[in-house]
Every structure is written in C-alpha cells, then in structure tokens.
Amino acid sequence: MAGQEDPVQREIHQDWANREYIEVITSSIKKITDFLNSFDMSCRSRLATLNEKLTALERRIEYIEARVSMTCWRLRSCSRASHCLL
C-alpha cells in the first residue's frame, strides 16, 4: 500500500503537528507576557513621574494659600488701624 500511511506514522505526524501548535501558542503567550510586563513598567514609571509633579503642585498651592491667607489677615488688621505697613 504505497499511498497509505500506517497508524504509527500517522500518530507521529499528528504528534508533531500538536507539538508545533503548542509551540506557537507558547510563543504567543510569551510575547503577550513580555508586552504586558513592558507596559506595566512604562505605566508605573509614568505614574511615578506624574505623582511627583502633582506633589510639587500641591506644595505650591499650599504655599500660595498660606500667602493669600496671610495677606488677607494683614489687610483686615490694617483696616482696623490707621497706620499700617504691609
């Protein structure tokens, strides 16, 4: 029987096909994992930078609020006194 494979050869071919399929799936999973890890690190870095900028802005706002409060307090004090130097 020249055109037919015996059952052992058919099993071997099927086994190789399964192994190739598993290799493709494994490789794809590794690529996705690498991408996700890279994306995670990029996001963490960007969020850390953003957090630093927000913290700096919060400090500046607190400073400005304190200056405005002090100026308002001085203006109220000056309105009561006839002589006032800001």
- Boundaries of every domain in the chain: 53-85
Kindly report the pTM of this predicted structure: 0.61
Contact 80, 86 (CB under 8 A): no
Distance CA 10, CA 41 (A): 47
Residue 75: closest CA among 63, 62, 86: 86
Distance CA 8, CA 15 (A): 10
Distance CA 20, CA 9 (A): 17
Distance CA 2, CA 57 (A): 81
**Per-residue model confidence as pLDDT tens digits over 4-51:** 679 999 999 999 999 999 999 999 999 999 999 999 999 999 999 999
- Model confidence at 2: pLDDT above 80: no
